[in-house]
A = this chain, B = another copy of it.
Amino acid sequence: MTDTQLTIRQMCEAYDVTPRTLRFYEAKELLFPERRGQQRLFTKRDQARLKLILRGKRFGFSLEEIRQLLDLYYVGDQQRTQLERTQILARKHLADMQAQRDELQVAIEELKEQMAWGEKRLAELERIDEQNA
């Protein structure tokens, strides 16, 4: 039990972030560590949330967007109207993410083409270099 509670330093090493970052995320209400006296203790829930935060950042989402996304994962005991709002927000985010994935796929294809072109060009230059040798 107490085993899953991480101190701030353990948390930092586990997820490669700084103490400042964790405190900052708490201030922004992205994390809610418990307290032993004044000391922070990060629960399993906080660790899961941090993973989602870091992934969200890699996708280019702002912390504010991420905060809203996080709420989608802790639906527990929401009222009906609130839950409906959550679902609507989730649909929007899902659409965003799918669009981004598709756009990424296109970008990947384009980059591959460019690289093929570059390889061809390199082969030409190599031929010329060999002739001049």
Contact = CB atoms under 8 A, between A and B. Distances in A.
Given A94-B108, A107-B59, A125 B75 contact: no
Interface of A: 55, 57-61, 72-73, 75, 80, 83-84, 86-87, 90-91, 93-94, 97-98, 100-101, 103-105, 107-108, 111-112, 114-115, 117-119, 121-122, 125-126, 129
B90 A118 contact: yes
Given A59-B103, A83-B125, A101-B101, 18 more contacts: A59-B104, A60-B60, A72-B111, A72-B114, A72-B115, A72-B118, A75-B118, A80-B125, A80-B129, A83-B121, A86-B118, A87-B118, A87-B119, A90-B114, A91-B115, A97-B104, A101-B104, A101-B108
Nearest to A73: B114
A10 to B, nearest CB: 25
A83 B115 contact: no
Nearest to A91: B115
Nearest to A111: B94
Contact of A108 (B57, B98, B117): B98
5 contacts: A60-B61, A75-B118, A80-B129, A87-B118, A87-B122
